[in-house]
Amino acid sequence: MLPLIAAGAGLLAVGVAAYKYFSGDDDQPSKTPPPSKSQSLGSFVIWGRPNSGKTTFISQLRGEQMSVEKKATTSRTTYKEVKLRLAAEFVVDSIVDMPGTDDRLDDWRELVAKGDHVFYLINLSRIDDSGYAAAVRTDLKATIDALSQSSKGRKRINIIASHVDQSKWNAVDAAQVNNVLQEDPVIRRMYESMEGVKGYVYSANLTDATSFKRLLQSIVDDLQA
């Protein structure tokens, strides 16, 4: 059992969400009936260290063609009124893409304080790099700080565990990934740095269309719940 009881409830809830998400039935309809016109999901704020998959995630949300070669993001770009290509009944008010470097940590705090939904990306293929893991813990603590100062009154972090296909969990049954992640000492320390805040965890291969589709379905369902 995890010691992070406050976050544990959310994390356990996520285990269920992930099971639903990975349950293998692509055609499973959303539990939320589609509204007749585009419904706002509010703003998404998205961050993570370099190469965690932020730009890839945002490109997938926007339905943009992704470049085959990795291009580091060098500036801050705000996308407004993003209609979700795979869930066109929903629109995200704004999404910011920026580099995942230390000099952006203050920008991140500011975005978290103002934004509606917070997404932090963790690259599972780098989890055993101790410098990377420490940087993630620092980011998560900064995120909690910023959330506590937010006037929005919501206390939840959505963790997207990317690169699952390139991680040591690539052979784990997809429905079990989240449960197995919680047993990893490095991941547990990361979750512990989110003490007091509910965390929803999603795992995906962001470059894979099917995996992303399921991820998006799960996120939209959870935001609507």
Ligand X SMILES: Nc1nc2c(ncn2[C@@H]2O[C@H](COP(=O)(O)OP(=O)(O)OP(=O)(O)O)[C@@H](O)[C@H]2O)c(=O)[nH]1
How many residues comprise the chain? 225
Geometric angle at alpha carbon 162, from 158 and 167, rounded to 5°: 135
Rounded to a whole number of angstroms, the minimum distance from the CB of residue 97 to Mg ion is: 6
Is residue 205 near ligand X by the rule CB under 6 A?
A: yes
Is residue 166 near ligand X by the rule CB under 6 A?
A: yes
Tally Cβ neighbours within 10 Å of residue 64.
13
Question: Near ligand X by CB under 6 A, which window of 1-9, 76-84, 178-186, 201-209?
Answer: 201-209
Contact code string over 18-57 relative to Mg ion, x by CB under 5 A: ------------------------------------xx--
Is residue 60 near ligand X by the rule CB under 6 A?
A: no
Please list, residue by residue across 159-172, b when 16 or more beta carbons sit within 10 angstroms of its beta carbon and e when fewer do. bbbbbbbebebeeb
Contact code string over 56-85 relative to Mg ion, x by CB under 5 A: -----------------x------------
Site for ligand X in 99-138 (CB under 6 A): 99-100
Q: Identify any residues that bridge with 83 across adjacent strands, giving them in sequence order.
A: 91
Tally Cβ neighbours within 10 Å of residue 97.
18
